[in-house]
Homo-oligomer: A and B are copies of this chain.
Amino acid sequence: MARRRQSVTIKHVAADAGVSLQTVSRVINNEPNVRPAMKERVQESIDKLGYVPSIAAQRMSGSRSYIIMAINDRDLTIADWRAREGRDWIDQMLLGGMLTCAEHGYRMLIELVDTHNDHVERELGAAIAALQPDGIILTPPHSENPLITGLLAERGIPFARIGSKQGGLGIAMTMGDTHNARLATEHLIQLGHTRIGFIAGPEEFSLSNWRVDGWKSALEAAGLSAEGLCERGDFGFASGSIAAEKLLRTDDAPSAIIASSDQMALATLEVARGRGLQIPRDLSIVSFDNSPIVRFTQPPLTAIDQPIAETTSRAVELLIENASGKRPAEPISVPGKLIVRASTGKAPSANLSEPRTRSA
């Protein structure tokens, strides 16, 4: 008996009548501001499909916007779009977010906000006032900006914070950074590498340090040292060059480097080539992000694939559930995968138990 009820939802009615969910809910709730013709049209679809309004549908009394807003860093995003180097963070957010939104009758809108702006609260306040989103997805570095999280909490808007483990306001979500860095490091250890360098991201991003933690813990578990093997960049190419130079110019240089971003990995590739190193014969490289660019380098780069689409999809689901009062256990972790390509190979030194000496 419950079959019909469960299968036909307000969404089917809206699609059949060619109207919005809000309009259907206004008709169901018998609200005054609905034209008789519209009411008749919706009622026809309700009758035709045999729709029985649920409590949830009755609660949709036009007060929802059915919009989820995904807030990204303005400068970084525009720089990526202008550079046209194929970085597809926004596309992957749209892929996961839009499709999951659509399943629930919602829409996702990308909003760009400058986290360093003195007027960030005002800017965000205006965006919220204009669109009245039912949920907001924050991405780094917004995810841990207390001006932003404070404002959202004050306005009572459910939000998810991607790249944050901090408890408290909103839903904390990570893409398994510690786990991912451990995966990358273990892959290199299995290939016989004993000196594995790491190029970390900026301190401002918590995930930078979680990745360092993952790298260190895998080294420790294998009895290997991290001493002098970590440099820090800002995710950009230039900072990656400087970091790779520092790591590679020492007498006891690493035989493998993990870079915390694709741009820093590309820079490492270039620096290594400039020093006459062959990849992966003399140096193995693992990248982080797995944006399209790393498939087109020579050789293509082994990379940690960031599950951006899955994480955004999960965030949308959590926000929609949250709106009906469900609160998830936190933080939510959506782990990434290691994609092995041609930039990683066996360690140059055959004898794994002895300290490695570079063969020039």
Contacts and interface: CB of A to CB of B under 8 A. Distances in A.
A22 interface: yes
This chain: copies in complex: 2
Query: A-side binding surface: helix, strand, loop or mixed?
Result: helix
A183 interface: no
Contacts of A112: 98, 102
Interface in A74-133: 78, 80-82, 84-86, 88, 90-92, 94-95, 98-99, 102, 107, 109-112, 119, 121-123, 125-126, 129-131
Q: Could you say which interface size class chain A belongs to?
A: 35 or more
A172 interface: no
Interface in A52-74: 66
B119 A15 contact: yes
Q: Of residues A22, A84, A85, A94, which shows the largest number of chain B Cβ atoms within 10 Å of its Cβ?
A: A84
Contacts of A292: 84-86, 292-293
Given A15-B126, A20-B129, A95 B82 contact: yes
B130 A86 contact: no
Contacts of A125: 18-19
A16 interface: yes
A15 B123 contact: yes
A21 interface: yes
B81 A129 contact: no
A297 interface: yes
A185 to B, nearest CB: 24
Contact of A18 (B91, B122, B290): B122
A15 to B, nearest CB: 6
Nearest to A88: B84
A129 B290 CA distance: 38
12 contacts: A14-B129, A16-B122, A18-B121, A20-B130, A22-B130, A23-B129, A81-B309, A85-B295, A86-B88, A86-B291, A90-B94, A110-B110
Given A94-B110, A102-B112, 10 more contacts: A15-B123, A19-B125, A19-B126, A66-B130, A84-B92, A86-B291, A88-B88, A88-B91, A107-B131, A296-B296
- In order of increasing CB-CB distance, the 7 nearest A-B pairs are A86-B86, A296-B296, A86-B292, A18-B125, A20-B129, A20-B130, A81-B95
